């Protein structure tokens, strides 16, 4: 589970970097579009990871037993 947390945290750091680059006035339209696409992919990956954890917590709350990932 630690590795997934690191991946999620790393994705958030990458998203922050993308946002900073997109806020730059010196970025070209092409580069901003490419960064936007990368950001959307990262965001979807983060949402998927969070959804998996949320579902595990719901199942755990219902059964009281740990759930394997």
Q: For 33-61, how does the pLDDT look when each residue is reduced to its tens digit (9 = 90+)?
A: 999 999 999 999 999 999 998 998 888 88
Better pLDDT: 15 or 1: 15
Q: What is the dihedral of CA 18, 22, 26, 29, to 10 degrees?
A: 110
What is the rounded CA–CA span in Å between residue 4 and residue 28?
Answer: 33
Count of other CB atoms within 10 angstroms of residue 34? 13
Better pLDDT: 29 or 5: 29
Closest CA to 39 of 21, 15, 20: 15
| Predicted pLDDT of residue 20 | 96
Q: For 12-27, how does the pLDDT look when each residue is reduced to its tens digit (9 = 90+)?
A: 999 999 999 999 999 9
Query: pLDDT-based confidence at 3, cuts 50/70/90?
Result: low
């Amino acid at each position: 589970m630690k590795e997934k947390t690191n991946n999620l945290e790393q994705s958030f750091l990458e998203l922050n970097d993308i946002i900073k680059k997109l806020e730059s006035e010196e970025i070209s339209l092409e580069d901003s579009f490419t960064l936007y696409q990368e950001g959307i992919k990262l965001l979807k990956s983060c949402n998927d990871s969070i959804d998996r954890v949320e579902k595990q917590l719901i199942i755990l709350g219902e059964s009281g037993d740990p759930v394997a990932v």
